[in-house]
Amino acid sequence: MPTAIKVLEVDNRTATTHFILLGFLTRPAFQFLLFSVFLVTYLLTLVENLLIILAIRSDGQLHKPMYFFLSHLSFLEMWYVTVISPKMLVNFLSKDKSISFNGCMTQLYFFVTFVCTEYILLAVMAFDRYVAICNPLRYPVIMTNQLCGILAGGCWFCGLMTAMIKMVFIARLRYCGTPHINHYFCDISPLLNVSCEDSSQAELVDFFLALMVIAVPLCVVVTSYVTILIAILKIPSAQGRQKAFSTCASHLTVVTLFYSTTLFTYARPKLMYAYNSNKVVSVLYTVIVPLLNPIIYCLRNRDVKMALKKTILCNSSGPGGDGDLSS
């Protein structure tokens, strides 16, 4: 691909203006099959999360902190998959697998923003469940609308700032020659692999920030659920224990899925990105998990299921339909 990679002379050094995303190296017929599967998955993910947002906004019974954070999670995951999927879908059908330098860095910035925000948001949701189960009488006093807004805003701010700091170190690295990224999107480790200068400083910053963004929220999640488990075990009736656990079962499942898939990837050495198996693992948290999360919340949460039914029936009945839902 002679036109795919262009270089400019800057201060006697070559600066890459394009990368090549190798993606999934398969036969053309299988590429079309993958395109069809990932397109359907992407559209389903958007529809599922949009329905959850609409259901939460339209049902007054869901105007609670837990569902407020859930709507933020759904909004986040709609953009999370949109950062990656469209370019991946185009590459399945196109012979030109190139992505501009600016496009690659933009994709990486927003991807890191959404991943970091989700780590922190899941920890905030765990804290919310801790307060609801361990301090039920004080829950309305503690989890006020103001605090919920601050916590949600803090999640987004931390995600944006973490991504910005990482990008300062990654974007200024020099990439030369023919940078073929052995991945289907611009991720940190594949980019560090194709840099033609010492990237140890960028790796150190990435490791430190990843440790803060992953380890601290993980500690909050683990501490919250250990305390919740102790509180549930103290409930005398089996029915009471089951009711208490059901309020956090969906979130615990989502946390387990997201943390296990991302930790498996980012805890591995940088050189592991040379193997195609890493792409399969990445598909889990960039495609499959965002698809499953709304389903998990619907299956495990009766209130969300009822609100979704009302939303769908209301939309299908048109202007003359049931008008009980508050906006």
For the whole model, what pTM was predicted? 0.86
Average pLDDT over residues 51-59: 87
| Rounded mean pLDDT, 174-185 | 81
* Torsion, Cα of 111, 112, 117, 119 (10° steps): 110
Please name the amino acid found at residue 266.
Y
Residue 276, pLDDT above cutoff 70: no
Contact between 287 and 41 (Cβ < 8 Å)? yes
- pLDDT of 300 above 70: no
* CATH dotted code for 18-310: 1.20.1070.10
- Please give the pLDDT value at position 251: 85
Whether the pLDDT of residue 178 is over 60: the answer is yes
- Among the listed ranges 47-51, 133-137, 189-193, 269-273, which one has the minimum average pLDDT value? 269-273
- As a whole number of angstroms, the distance between CA 43 and CA 157 comes to 28
What per-residue confidence (pLDDT) applies to 266? 65
- Which residues, including other chains, have CB under 8 Å from residue 24's CB and lie 6 or more apart? 31, 34, 92, 184, 276, 279
Four-residue CA torsion sign, 304, 306, 307, 311 = positive
Residue 34 in this model has a pLDDT that exceeds 50: yes
> How sure is the predictor about 119, in pLDDT bands with cuts at 50, 70 and 90?
very high
Give the start-to-end residue ranges of the domains of the chain.
18-310
Q: Work out the angle at residue 128's Cα, subtended by the Cα atoms of residues 127 and 134, and round it to the nearest 5 degrees.
A: 85
| Residues of the chain by 3-state class (helix, strand, coil), percent to 5 | 75, 5, 20
Lowest mean pLDDT among 25-29, 42-46, 312-316: 312-316
Q: Please give the Cα distance from 84 to 75 (Å, whole number).
A: 15
Cβ-contact 14, 8 below 8 angstroms: yes
More confident of the two residues 6 and 25: 25
Q: Please report which confidence band the pLDDT of residue 315 belongs to, taking 50, 70 and 90 as the band edges.
A: low
Q: What phi and psi values does residue 144 have, to the nearest 5 degrees?
A: -75, 165
Angstrom distance (rounded) from CA 263 to CA 259: 6
Query: Which residues sit opposite 18 in a β-bridge?
Result: 100
* Local confidence band at 158 (pLDDT 50, 70, 90 cut-offs): very high
**Does residue 151 surpass a pLDDT of 90?**
yes
Question: DSSP per residue over 67-124, as a string?
Answer: HHHHHHHHHHHHHHHHHHHHHHHHHHH-S--EEEHHHHHHHHHHHHHHHHHHHHHHHH
pLDDT reading at 11 higher than 80:
no
Angle, CA of 159, 160 and 164, to the nearest 5°: 115
| Type of residue at 282 | S
